[in-house]
Amino acid sequence: MQNDEVLDIYEMSRYLRCSVDTIRRMVQRKHLPHYRVGNRIFTRKSFLDEWILNQVTCSVENNAYAE
């Protein structure tokens, strides 16, 4: 179950290769799957993997409609 590892905001930033500020902004806009414990932000790696696949699927579908 290594893929179900819990990530904090800094680990999310490294995994997605973007800044912590970008992660905070995406969380605030509810663009990333996450949950909070107090003021701390967490997610599961499996949630991010699914989110990434969904982003790729949406991009592919949008390109198909553009042609």
Residue 54 burial by Cβ neighbours in a 10 Å radius (0-12, 13-18, 19+): exposed
The tens digit of pLDDT for each residue in 4-43 reads 899 999 999 999 999 999 999 999 999 999 999 999 999 9
Cβ(51)–Cβ(33) below 8 Å = yes
Dihedral (CA of 41, 43, 45, 47) sign: negative
Q: In this predicted structure, what is the pLDDT of residue 4?
A: 86
**DSSP-based three-state secondary structure for 42:** strand
Cα separation, 64 vs 60, in Å, equals: 6
